[in-house]
Structure 1
Amino acid sequence: MRGVLRAEPVWVETFTGLRMDRFVKLVKVVRERGGNGPGGGRPWCLPLADRVLLVAVYYRTNLTMRQLAPLFGVSPATVCRGIQRLRPLLAIEPATRPTDAVDRSWIVDGTLIPVRDRKTGASLRTYRFSANVQVIIDADTKLVIAAARPVPGNTADAKAWRDSGLAAVCEDVPVLADGAYINTGLVVPHRKRPGRALLPGEEEDNAEHRKVRARVEHAFARMKHYKILRDCRQRGHGLHHAVQAVAHLHNFALAA
């Protein structure tokens, strides 16, 4: 059975959003992380580049294993093994503290991702099971700095932030957040208090704060072009791996 999709420019650009040269660099990263395995075992049906494309197509379209199999000319079991093998290798690189931390600013916010796994998500007012994922982006470049492990969607953003461990990544870097992160040490908007309106300078600060913080919503919109983040059927650590891989692809696309 011959598949339709191959790691060619037309398919790579369609399903990954990357130019071919950036995709080649992504494949190189996966290979260096052990994408071809230790060797000596049964060879894969597809070359590494095609398997990286397969995972990208899965995340981009959210097709089932049976739907993906004929597109690549392999069995559903091979598709499943390929995804299970490569998904942790596509994760975003661990963040490092920038040398010009004082002059930089980051933005953090949580996004809700619908999930099928009842252990990962929680029921919300919309009657959908969702997970809350905390994501940090760079305010200037809109690159994803780090993404936390998912927590149930009914977890408040402030608690999700405190439990995420991301605060250690942001040491000495100003981090902007919305009003849900009050008392977390982040830069949040000025609050109206009973009987006291905002001062003129505070209103201007809030307007500028909103303008900058909107960039994290733009990043979420780009990341959710990958439909896996609109309805994740993966169980266990599947959503975490998907978020990390999509963040990596997002960064590669912006850096192109």
Structure 2
Amino acid sequence: MAGVLRVERVWVETFTGLRMRQFDGLLRVVRERGGDGPRIGRPWCLPLGERVLLVAVYYRTNLTMRQLAPLFGVSPATVCRVIQRLGPQLALEPIARRDEAVDRLWIVDGTLIPVRDRTVAASSRNYRFSANVQVIIDADTRLVVAAARPVPGNRADARVWRESGLSAHCTGVTVLGDGAYINTGLVVPHRKRPGRALLPGEETDNAEHRKVRARVEHTFARMKNYKILRDCRQHGDGLHHAVQAVAHMHNLALAA
């Protein structure tokens, strides 16, 4: 059975949200990470480019395996194997800090992602079983610097931050967080105290803080154009691989 989708400009740009040169960059990364080997057992029925396209389309559209199968002319089982094999190879690599990174400003925040796997989710304030994913972005470029492993969505952001290991990426860098990150060493808004209103200068600081920190919310909105982050049906490490891959494609779309 012949498939419909091929590695052609019209299909890549329509179904992945990436331009052709950006997709070529993603394909090059996967190839360098060994996505085309080792060649043991039966060969893949799709070339590497179409397998990477399949995974990108899956993350972008969140179609089921049965819906994707006829689009690529393969069986649902093959679609599943391709996603499990290549999903981790699309992962974001932490952005290398330059010498002037100490003068840069990063922002951290968490977002709730609905997920079907109850082992990585919990009933959350969005009234769904969700996972909390912490993400750091560069305030100037909006690029994702790093993303933590998902944890149950009923955990507080401050606790998730402390346990995530993301702070290891932030040594010597100023990092903004919202009021949920109090006592974590991040730059947070001034808080009102009982019986004491904010001082005029503190209110101005908070307004500027909100204005800058909104950039991470914009990043989450762009990342959630990949519908896998609106209702993830993957189990185990599937959500983690999806977040890393989406962050990688988000960075490609901004930087290329």
Return the TM-score normalized by structure 1: 0.98
Q: After alignment, is 194-203 or 167-176 more displaced?
A: 194-203
Per-residue Cα deviation, 1:106-148 (whole angstroms, up to 9, x for no partner): 0000000001001010012444100000000000000000000
CA contact (8 A) 2:107 2:136 kept: yes
Q: How far apart are 1:204 and its partner, in Å?
A: 0.9
Could you tell me which residue of structure 1 aligns to residue 176 of structure 2? 176
Q: Which runs of 5+ in 1 are unaligned?
A: none
Aligned to 2:36: 36
The farther-off stretch of 199-208 and 150-159 is 199-208
CA distance in 1, matches of 2:126, 2:181: 23
Match of 2:45 in 1: 45
Shift in Å, 1:39: 2.0
**Which amino acid is the alignment partner of residue 252 of structure 2?**
F
**Which aligned runs of 4 or more in structure 1 are off by greater than 4 angstroms?**
none
Are the structure 2 counterparts of residues 125 and 134 from structure 1 closer, same or farther at C-alpha, using a change threshold of 3 Å?
closer
- Per the alignment, in what secondary structure is the counterpart of residue 219 of structure 1? helix
Q: How many residues align?
A: 256
**Where in structure 2 are the equivalents of 1:172-211 lying within 5 Å?**
172-211=172-211
Residues 96-105 or 81-90, more deviating:
96-105
Distance in structure 2 (CA, Å) of the matches to 1:229 and 1:203: 34
Write the mapping of 1:60-79 to structure 2, written as runs, cut at 5 A: 60-79=60-79
Match of 2:230 in 1: 230
Residue pair 1:95, 1:169 contacting (<8 A) in 2 also: no
Deviation readout 1:66-104 (Å, 9 max, x if unpaired): 110000000111101100000000000123333112210
Q: Which residue of structure 2 lines up, in the alignment, with residue 23 of structure 1?
A: 23
Q: What fraction of aligned residue pairs are identical, expressed as a percent? A: 81
Contact residue 9 and residue 20 of structure 1 kept, 8 A: yes
- What corresponds to 1:251 in structure 2? 251
**What secondary structure does 1:137 align onto?**
strand
> Is this contact kept in 2: 1:96–1:169, CA < 8 A?
no
Greater mean alpha carbon deviation, residues 175-184 or residues 42-51: 42-51
In the alignment, the residues of structure 1 paired with residue 18 and residue 154 of structure 2 have an alpha-carbon distance, to the nearest angstrom, of 34
